[in-house]
Structure 1
Amino acid sequence: MHIACICIVRLGLREDTGIDAREHNYDLLDINKENFHLPTLGNILERVSEQVYDGEGFVLLRGLNPREFTEEENIIVASGVSVYVGGKFGRQSPTGSMITHLTTLKGIETQAGYYSKQFQTFHNDHACDVISLYCLSPPASGGQVRLASASKTYQDIVETRPDIIPILADSNWIHQTARQKPLYIRRPLLYQTDDGKPFFCFSRAALLEEFRTHRLEGLGLPPLTRTQREALDIVETVADKNSLEIGLQSGDLIFINNLAVLHGRREFEDNEIAKRHMLRLWVHNPERAWKLPNSIKVLRDCLYMDLPDIPGWFIFDPMDPDPTVLQEVTSDNGSCGTLGSSK
């Protein structure tokens, strides 16, 4: 798959789409196609799901107007539309938060991670299926989403630097995890699905020793080798060469196949008028999901399985984020005792 163009689905007026978040009278964890009924848009979203899983790997919905809804209603809209693409939501932190507000927060603007304004290299959001990203408001400048086909990146590396492939597929990469045990795991960056599709699963910030947290001090973990650093740089360079960029507008809702497409982000600036604020969900469609090798399937299933001791919950106030996420913005944050989200 090579991303050659932006697949945009333009929506009509709210009355035409059938979206009405005001009639919400159920727990968001229970939202589904039956209680968030979209008689017209639902059929379109079924095709969107097919395109995301088996086509280009991403689709952009354009035409929603966040100003028509309250803060809570926008979360309902994002969840209700996303449930048609994938019926299950994944936990994005060790405490079970199901949604992340991607916005700058006072006091951590200079840190790496999704709460900062810094440039983000190509990465995956851990082992989630599909990323749902709803733009409530774009930044004043910059912040373009960068997308690159994983298969095209792989093919180009095979053609130009085949010696790098075994390094990426080696299981000796150290990925730091979140606060709970284990503190780190060793696994590859490059995998294949059961039917032979290549894909990546990594976050650069969870690999580089300069981003390692104090929790890993004294464990004697080795730094990345020169060859490993070169491999990371090659993935970034090749992905960038084949990438496209999208400047999200207010009301845009983009779905990205997390394994088929590497994604990153340009640095950005806010001002008093324009402040970047996105809502992120991790969605999963069991019927369309890729057949993964067991080592990654376990990590994906971990995000979406029901865990009585870690019930899911939704953050409605972006200024009151999950504290565990704040502490580990550069880690593979755990959500079921082993791992969880990436940068």
Structure 2
Amino acid sequence: MTTTDSIRPVAGGWTRRDVEQDDSWIHPLTEAQIGALEDALRHALGTGKGMFEMSVEDFPLDAAVRDTLVGIVDETQGGFGFKLLRGFPVDRWSRDELRTLFWGIGLVLGVPRPQGKASQFMSDVRDAGGTYRSATGRGYNTRSGLDFHADGSDMVGLFCVRTARSGGSSLISSSIAAHNEMVRLQPDLAAQLYAPMIFSRQGEQAPEEAPYYSAPIFGVRDGHFACRHIRNHIKGAQQTFADIPRLTPQQIEALDLFDELLARDDLCYHMWLQPGDIQLVNNHIVLHSRTEYEDYDEPDRKRHLFRLWLSLPQGQPLPHGWQDAYKDVETRCVRGGFRGMGITPEIRAFEARIARAHGMQLRIYPEKEAA
């Protein structure tokens, strides 16, 4: 276990005031960029291909716009760790067409990852009657307020199509800043989060996976700090599995302090996503959350976002203790996701094709199942 004496602050991090005083994290889309995205979308729709039949070439972006998008993702690997593309005209296109647009952007940036038991590669973030505080609870299909957490990929992208009647604010917090404040206040508790804890897979494990896994919340590898915090899954494991170690009072105190710091007014930033916004977040250095919301009664007006999880060619090396969670922790490798039960040969071939396009290795599945 990491000792208190070895715990140190790490470089980087930001406060709410930093974000409020510097709007460089917002990228307003120009008319030329919107036009290029719409041209690529028209081409993709014209191919008639399904999601897993597509290649990067099926979403042919103007080179300058493509370079801009890749550069935006490059910026999320440090600094604030998040960016917002603002202003895509969602009212010009149907929901299915917007889904194809977001998928095409994802293919340009990295390799999409599966997100649940059904092996869905794009989730609809909307209230489907789910229960967040349960042994199988996930947050995206509820209207609940959420804990601060990281999603299971290098990057999470949210494309806002409709907002709620009230609430549903996007909350983000620098895990680096919260870590450093924790080290300043109580280094003995910070040390607890460098040791492994048990996370539930929330009933969404693949056939070859155990229903839970072990991973530390904090880690540093090759000078890169990383944080993977999903309190709801830690609670789920404690509630569901009698054969795992019980959290100690000091571990609970450490988790409570970290959650408190992430939500502290001077560290947490409230971001109101507008229709047409695309939020891109580096899961390894930024944690995100959401406030509870009240929706409209009319189905067409209800809050609706699309969510993508991406493995990135420029992603940082990850702590070795995350191997069971991510399946690969090296750079330029496809990693992350919740594999689920629905991976098909077509999906495996798709992943291999997109990985090759980005110069990334794909070695996360057993050899007998390789595409």
Aligned to 1:38: 61
Match of 2:274 among 249, 254, 266: 249
1:235 is aligned to 2:258: yes
Match of 1:261 among 265, 269, 286: 286
| Deviation for aligned residue 1:28 | 2.1
- Larger helix percent: 2
Aligned to 2:212: 184
1:154 is aligned to 2:174: no
Residues 201-257 of structure 1: CA deviation (Å, up to 9, x unaligned): 1211111159734xx3xx344443222221111111111221111010011001000
1:101 is aligned to 2:124: yes
Distance in 2 (alpha carbons) for counterparts of 1:52 and 1:224: 34
Aligned to 1:145: 170
Q: Which moved more, 1:26-35 or 1:73-82?
A: 26-35
Distance in 2 (alpha carbons) for counterparts of 1:248 and 1:83: 23
SS in 2 for 1:212: helix
Question: For residues 110 and 257 of structure 1, do their structure 2 counterparts lie closer, same or farther at Cα, with a shift above 3 Å needed?
Answer: closer
1:199 is aligned to 2:223: no
Match of 2:198 among 156, 160, 174: 174
Aligned to 2:7: none
Residues 70-110 of structure 1: CA deviation (Å, up to 9, x unaligned): 222111111122333x3211111244211111100146588
Distance in 2 (alpha carbons) for counterparts of 1:307 and 1:230: 32
Q: Is the 8 A contact 1:87 1:285 kept in 2?
A: yes
Matches within 5 A, 1:1-343: 1-3=12-14, 4-5=18-19, 6=23, 7-13=25-31, 16-20=35-39, 21-24=41-44, 25=47, 26-39=49-62, 40-84=64-108, 86-106=109-129, 108=131, 112=137, 113-126=139-152, 128-171=153-196, 173-179=197-203, 180=205, 181-195=209-223, 197-208=224-235, 212-213=239-240, 216=241, 219-241=242-264, 242-273=267-298, 274-286=301-313, 288-297=314-323, 299-300=325-326, 301=328, 302-303=335-336, 310-311=343-344
| Deviation for aligned residue 1:308 | 12
Distance in 1 (alpha carbons) for counterparts of 2:315 and 2:290: 25
Distance in 1 (alpha carbons) for counterparts of 2:182 and 2:78: 23
Q: Is the 8 A contact 1:36 1:80 kept in 2?
A: yes
| Deviation for aligned residue 1:134 | 0.4
| Deviation for aligned residue 1:54 | 2.9
Residues 44-73 of structure 1: CA deviation (Å, up to 9, x unaligned): 212111111233211000011222112221
SS in 1 for 2:57: coil
Question: For residues 167 and 81 of structure 1, do their structure 2 counterparts lie closer, same or farther at Cα, with a shift above 3 Å needed?
Answer: same
Distance in 1 (alpha carbons) for counterparts of 2:231 and 2:83: 25
Q: Which moved more, 1:179-188 or 1:235-244?
A: 179-188
Runs of 4+ with deviation above 3 angstroms: 13-18, 30-33, 106-112, 178-181, 209-213, 219-223, 301-309
Question: For residues 123 and 336 of structure 1, do their structure 2 counterparts lie closer, same or farther at Cα, with a shift above 3 Å needed?
Answer: farther
AA aligned to 2:51 is L
Q: Which moved more, 1:288-297 or 1:52-61?
A: 288-297
Q: Is the 8 A contact 1:87 1:284 kept in 2?
A: yes
Q: Which moved more, 1:16-25 or 1:130-139?
A: 16-25
Distance in 2 (alpha carbons) for counterparts of 1:15 and 1:264: 29
SS in 2 for 1:56: coil
AA aligned to 1:277 is H
Question: For residues 237 and 304 of structure 1, do their structure 2 counterparts lie closer, same or farther at Cα, with a shift above 3 Å needed?
Answer: closer
Of the two, which has the highest radius of gyration? 2
Query: Given the two structures, how large is their TM-score scaled by the length of structure 2?
Result: 0.75
Query: Given the two structures, how large is their TM-score scaled by the length of structure 1?
Result: 0.80
- Kindly report the root-mean-square deviation, in angstroms, between the aligned alpha carbons of the 2 structures: 2.9
Question: For residues 43 and 34 of structure 1, do their structure 2 counterparts lie closer, same or farther at Cα, with a shift above 3 Å needed?
Answer: same
AA aligned to 2:225 is P
Higher RCO (C-alpha 8 Å, min separation 6):
1
Question: For residues 308 and 147 of structure 1, do their structure 2 counterparts lie closer, same or farther at Cα, with a shift above 3 Å needed?
Answer: closer
Q: Percent identity?
A: 24
SS in 1 for 2:176: helix
Q: Which moved more, 1:56-65 or 1:66-75?
A: 66-75
